[in-house]
Amino acid sequence: MLFDYGEFLKGIDREAYHEGEWQWEEDGYTVTRTYTYSAPGCHDSCGVLMYTKDGKLERVEGDPLDPCANGRLCMRCLNLAEGVNYADRPKYPLRRAGERGENKWERITWEEALDEIADWIHENLDEAGFGRESIFVNHGTGRNISSWVPFLGGACLGTPNIGAIGFSGYSCYLPRTCGTAAGIGDFPIVDASEGHADRYANPEWERPDVVVVWGCEPLRSNADGYLGHWLNVCMQMGTEFISIDPQLTWWGARAAYWLPLCPATDLALALAWLNVITAEDLIDHEFVDCWCAYYDELKEHVAQFTPDWAAEICQVPAEDIAAAARFYAGAERGAIQWGLAFDTQVDSIQLCQTVSNLMSVCGNIDKPGTNILVRNGFEINPGYATAQLYCDPDTFAKKLTVDLVHPGCVQFIGMADCDAVNRAFETGEPYPIKMFWSQGSNGIACSATAAPRVHKMLQNVEFCVVADPYLTPTAVAYADIFLPLKTTAERDSMRVWWTPLRAMKAVSEWYEAKSDEELIVALGNKLNPELFQKRWPTLEALLQDYLDVGFNLYDPETGKSYKSAGRSKAGMVEVEDVHTDFWKKHHADGECSFDALVRKGGYEYDDFCATYRKYEKGLLRADGLPGFATPTGRIELVPYATFGAWGIPPLAEHVESLSAKRWLTDPEFKKEYPFICINGSRSYEFFHSENRQQATMREFHPMPLVKVSPQTAEEYGLAEGEWIWIENTEGRCRQKVTIDPTLNPRYIHAEHGWWFPEQEPAFPHLYGAFECNINNLTASYETGHGGIGNPLKSIVCKIYKCTDDVDEPTPGEVVTKLGGFRSDYVAGQPFAWTTDNTTREGGRF
């Protein structure tokens, strides 16, 4: 065995690492043992030692005593001090002093900023007859904000319209959570021992035999509370891997099988795996018999999806599809690590449900070394649900829902529907959006599919507030008021995503910046003083409430408690007690506070995620009976009831995107746009559009790179480092060529999220945010069943060399000065050409 956790632990000099202390002095530094709050951006939270001198963060090291990350850090955390101390980081609130996009600002006080916001809302919404639903709150992916910004939207601003601007199909993570909620009732993640404080040494834990890394690169992304190096440890302990990815990744290069499928054909492959596994009877009979419903229906349905059928769609040999399926199903303990690619396809929700069926029929659910079912530790679940508890019920009823723009779809997600929001901006229907509040998102450079189109709709918004640690293209383009925010280093906060509950302790200050939590308290006390004076008058009160009741509706005077009614649109339900399990555990011993958590090293594990076979123990269902949290109490391999209620066909069928359909059926179109562009795979240096300010990151990764195959380079006469245009019907952008000998010649891969903080901020350049933006080529409004999933990672395009034609307008000029690449957008329609005979119905042509 290459990796022995016991040996690893024995090798740590615990005294040198000040075991039992949370802060000490060392060589002129104050060292603080704490957790990052998803620094910078990031979905995770790793144990760090922060080295400060005179109140300034100078260095960050991994904390080997932290069981989550075991002292390992990404370059993004190791380089945190450079991001935190960036010279041009805004220090004070700013008011726009010129036109939008001129980048002219004047310094104002927080009091002035909050007054102006309150006055604007009062005069232009409340007194002018508009409801608070006319405020759209935009937030991004940083899991350092996903509990807090929605809460700010609901509790401070009183709007139900909270979401991600221009991000059609909720194409990040939500498809996976909904796809599994329907069939399993809970969310499965790969068990790499992360639920246990004693980790790989836990006596119940067993390492997975086979892990399928599917549409995910966990070493680069560490996505969604999951650290990639956990899987690396499993590999070192003997786990074998399958990689399902159009590109050769680190995992693919070390895998027993690499299935380089055509982008966005994963459902065809998954159905073929089910076909093999059911036809060859490779299922876990005991598990299926006891715990799964509708197996016969599933088996009958997948009988048509043979490996030969899938081979043609996926462009992977049928034998390889079948052999890999047998390898996964034959493992005693198999697990599937799935990634963003699951969310960026039009058949996304059925794909997620189908792959959760693969886990279920093989019995790979909630047993050691398989996919375990996890929830937020200690039942602390603030977020959309709690935000909506504080919104006026009549206003809540006006939430922008999916049915407004995708007829027949049913809203079952907490966020406002991204396309319904677009449509409200574009048409004023069903009501105009008058105010845009953006916090923790760089929408125009990142989340906005069809970025030029989103620019068109945002440029005339009446009032815009952007809150961010940095002045982003989104701030320069739209903000009337800019609010400077703290980073993880300056922030007192907590997070619980799965387990453990973690505390982040502020170690430095940044001028007048406020943390997201401090902003909630300040804004809430300004706009909603009655509620905030009672519940959250101070930061301490807010943090305590998080631990005590997770922001649920709770009135200590009447004893009445309410929880959100989950995914439904229905609002709330009265419950007996909303106290969290953390409160129940620690209220009496006085350890239920932020400070207590910091003192004990910043973390505490929860029992739920550490318990295996929860379905046998009655831990999953609200009624406490054994089984799963589904209507039948079993895993529903065909989720008739839930998908039925959501308007989604319960039996899965692969569907191509609109452009793929046209590409496959229209030879002229395919000749014009011969490549499929996979885009946005994560890099080690950046988190979406973040960290571009950091000189060290730019030294490693100076410019946006578009990968091409050697064949393509030869055919087009392209040299390494040469700029090329990438173009399709929606727009174009340029990136620098890098030649990848492992890439399939039919694909290219472009990067997303690029802007250049060192370049001109003002229009038309806007820090270069449109120059290299691959989302000039992607489209809004194309979603799959349920309004879920957008095919943003499989766009068709052509490429050609950049020339030095100075008369040609730059993309920035096209977008900010010349009305955009297209003038023929139709609200609700992704492409101008889809108004003719192309529809979303049906499978592959």
Ligand X SMILES: Nc1nc2c(c(=O)[nH]1)N[C@H]1C(S)=C(S)[C@@H](COP(=O)(O)OP(=O)(O)OC[C@H]3O[C@@H](n4cnc5c(=O)[nH]c(N)nc54)[C@H](O)[C@@H]3O)O[C@H]1N2
Residue 487 sits in the site that holds ligand SF4 (CB under 6 A): no
By C-beta, is 38 or 834 nearer to ligand SF4? 38
Q: Which residues contact 108 (CB under 8 A, 6 or more apart)?
A: 92, 93, 94, 95, 116, 481
Site mask, ligand SF4, residues 209-228, x = CB under 6 A?
A: -------------x----x-
Decide: is 36 part of the binding site for ligand SF4 (CB under 6 A): yes
Half-sphere exposure for 41 (CA within 13 Å, toward CB): 25
Task: Select the span of 139-147, 207-215, 536-544, 628-636 touching Mo ion (CB under 5 A).
Answer: 139-147
CB 41 to ligand SF4: min, Å? 8
CA nearest neighbour of 581 among 539, 613, 610, 540: 610
- For residue 806, CA distances in Å to 274, 676, 802, 810, 817 come to 55, 29, 11, 9, 16
The dihedral built from the CA positions of residue 527, 139, 398 and 375, taken in this order, carries a sign that is negative
Which residue lies nearer to ligand X by CB, 275 or 438?
438
Minimum CB distance to Mo ion smaller for 341 or for 713: 341
Residue 73 contacts which entry, ligand SF4, Mo ion, ligand X, none (Cβ below 5-8 A, type-dependent): ligand SF4
- DSSP single-letter state for residue 365: B
**Shortest separation between residue 313's beta carbon and ligand X, angstroms:** 12
Q: Position of tokens 């609010």?
A: 483
Instruction: Tell me the closest approach of the beta carbon of residue 603 to ligand X, in angstroms.
Output: 19
Least CB distance to Mo ion at residue 140 (A): 8
The single-letter code of the amino acid at 393 is P
Does residue 265 sit in helix, strand or coil?
A: coil
Runs of H (alpha helix) within 140-265: 148-151, 174-183, 218-221, 228-237, 250-253
- Give the binding site for ligand X (CB under 6 A): 40-41, 43, 140-142, 144-145, 172, 214-218, 220-223, 244-247, 249, 261, 263-264, 266, 339-341, 439-443, 446-447, 467-470, 472, 485, 487, 516, 678-682, 684, 686-690, 752-753, 774-775, 778, 792-794
- Here the tokens at position 428 are 């004023």
Measure the CA–CA gap between 812 and 773, rounded to whole angstroms.
10
Is residue 39 a contact point for ligand SF4 (CB under 6 A)?
A: yes
Residue 42 touches ligand SF4, criterion: CB under 6 A? yes
Minimum CB separation of residue 36 from ligand SF4 in Å reads 5
CB of 164 to ligand SF4, least distance (A): 20
Between 261 and 718, CB nearer to ligand X: 261
Q: Which is nearer to ligand X, 753 or 789 (CB)?
A: 753
Q: What are phi and psi of 134, to 5 degrees?
A: -80, 5
Helical spans, DSSP H, in 577-690: 581-586, 594-599, 607-610, 640-646, 658-665, 667-672
Asked if residue 81 binds ligand SF4 (CB under 6 A), the reply is no
For residue 328, what is the DSSP state? H
Of 76, 199, 662, 752, the one binding ligand SF4 by CB under 6 A:
76
Shortest distance, position 252 Cβ to Mo ion, whole Å: 21
Task: Out of 31, 49, 77, 779, name the contact with ligand SF4 by CB under 6 A.
Answer: 77
**Cα gap 727→740, rounded to integer Å:** 20
Least separation in angstroms between residue 221's CB and ligand SF4 is 9
- Alpha helices (H) along 123-173: 148-151
Residue 511 site contact among Mo ion, ligand SF4, ligand X, none (CB < 5 to 8 Å, cut-off depends on kind): none
- Binders of Mo ion among residues 587 to 616 (CB under 5 A) are none
Of 71-79, 312-320, 476-484, 647-655, the segment contacting ligand SF4 by CB under 6 A is 71-79
Cα separation of the two ends of the chain: 50
For ligand X, the closer of residues 161 and 442 by Cβ is 442
d(CA 259, CA 836): 36
Q: Which stretch binds ligand SF4 (CB under 6 A): 14-22, 67-75, 232-240, 455-463?
A: 67-75
Please, which residue, 42 or 542, has the CB nearer to ligand SF4?
Answer: 42
Tokens 């006319």 belong to residue:
134
Which residue has its beta carbon closest to ligand X?
140
| Dist. CA 174–CA 180, nearest whole Å | 10
Which CB atom, from 163 or from 377, has the smaller least distance to ligand SF4? 377
When CB distances are held under 5 to 8 angstroms depending on the partner's kind, the choice from ligand SF4, Mo ion, ligand X, none that residue 468 binds is ligand X
Pairing of strands 723-728, 162-163: unpaired
Degrees to nearest 5, angle at CA 543 with 29 and 533:
125
Partner whose footprint covers residue 36, from ligand X, Mo ion, ligand SF4, none (CB < 5 to 8 Å by kind): ligand SF4
Give least dist CB 264 to ligand X, A. Answer: 4
Binding partner selected for residue 77 from ligand X, ligand SF4, Mo ion, none, CB under the kind-specific 5 to 8 Å limit: ligand SF4
In terms of C-beta density within 10 A (0-12 exposed, 13-18 middle, 19 or more buried), how is residue 88 classed?
Answer: exposed
Q: Which of 44, 133, 347, 771 binds ligand SF4 (CB under 6 A)?
A: 44
User: Which C-beta is closer to ligand X: that of 314 or that of 501?
Assistant: 314
Q: For tokens 């295996």, what's the residue? A: 612
Ranges of beta strands (E only) in 286-431 are 292-293, 334-338, 371-374
Between residues 627 and 753, which has the closer beta carbon with respect to ligand X? 753
556, 562, 579 from 559: Cα distances, Å: 5, 10, 11
Query: In the range 170-189, which residues lie near Mo ion by CB under 5 A?
Result: 172
**Residues facing 737 on adjacent strands:** 706
- Taking alpha carbons only, the member of 764, 678, 725, 141 closest to residue 452 is 764
CA 665, 670, 451, 459 dihedral sign is: negative
Query: Of these, 31, 50, 57, 74, which contacts ligand SF4 (CB under 6 A)?
Result: 74
Question: What is 697-715 written as a DSSP string?
Answer: HHHHS-S-EEEE-HHHHHH
The strand pairing partners of 61, in sequence order, are 49
The nearest distance, CB 42 to ligand SF4, in angstroms, is 3
- What is d(CA 432, CA 421) in angstroms, rounded to the nearest whole number? 10
Q: Which is nearer to ligand X, 117 or 283 (CB)?
A: 117
- Please state the closest distance from residue 403 (CB atom) to ligand X, in A: 24
Minimum distance from CB of 78 to ligand SF4 (Å)? 8
Nearest to ligand X of 38, 159 (CB atom)? 38
284 binds ligand SF4 (CB under 6 A): no
By beta-carbon proximity to ligand SF4, the closer residue of 42 and 496 is 42
**Closer by beta carbon to Mo ion, 563 or else 682:** 682
Q: Closest separation between CB of residue 46 and ligand SF4, Å?
A: 3
Closest CA to 688 of 145, 131, 81: 145
Q: Which of 31, 46, 255, 321 binds ligand SF4 (CB under 6 A)?
A: 46
E strand segments, 140-233? 162-163, 187-190, 210-214
Residues in contact with ligand SF4, counted by CB under 6 A, come to a total of 14
* Partner from ligand SF4, Mo ion, ligand X, none binding residue 771, C-beta < 5-8 Å depending on class: none
Residue choice 52, 79, 103, 141 for contact with Mo ion (CB under 5 A): 141
Closest C-alpha among 190, 183, 181 to residue 209: 190
Closer Cβ to ligand SF4, 46 or 799, answer by number: 46
CB of 227 to ligand SF4, least distance (A): 6
Give the separation between CA 183 and CA 170, rounded to whole angstroms: 19
Residues near Mo ion, by CB under 5 A = 141, 172
Residues near ligand SF4, by CB under 6 A = 36, 38-39, 42, 44-46, 69, 73-74, 76-77, 222, 227
